[in-house]
Amino acid sequence: MIGRLNHVAIAVPDLEAASAQYREALMAKVSDPVDEPDHGVSVVFVELDNTKIELLQPMGEDSPIAKFLEKNPNGGIHHVCYEVDDIQAASRHLQAQGARILGDGEPKIGAHKKPVLFLHPKDFNGTLVELEQA
């Protein structure tokens, strides 16, 4: 069901500083910041040959990333994102297997303007998993 790794997301307390670090120290190509108010975050993507790194900064105190940074003030890996061919079929299959989908269970449009779902970390070895329609 899952396809390629789309990205690894890292929550950061300062998006501008984190972007500069990747751009300058690692000489990576870093996108411009984009606000994603539906998800409560500002994001940049670090482009790699085979995948991306998503750097996330909360847009406010209600952001899930703000809560993550309270527990991890220096930031850290927040989630991994895998591609799926059919997000609705993936959702049905996962729910039939007992996996919990976060939120209202319906896909939302993610940072790549494609439907995404998040799966409960307790169902995936402590890892928050995002599925994105390819």
For the domain spanning 2-133, the CATH number is 3.10.180.10
As a whole number of angstroms, the distance between CA 121 and CA 129 comes to 7
pLDDT at 19 over 90: yes
More confident residue, 28 or 111: 28
Q: pTM surpassing 0.95?
A: no
pLDDT value at residue 108: 93
pLDDT value at residue 111: 87
As a whole number of angstroms, the distance between CA 24 and CA 41 comes to 23
pLDDT at 38 over 90: no
Q: What are φ and ψ of residue 113, in 5° steps?
A: 65, 30
Q: Where along the chain do its domains lie?
A: 2-133
Q: Among candidates 24, 4, 7, which has minimal Cα distance to 84? A: 4
As a whole number of angstroms, the distance between CA 57 and CA 13 comes to 6
Average pLDDT (93-97) is 96
Active site residue ranges? 130
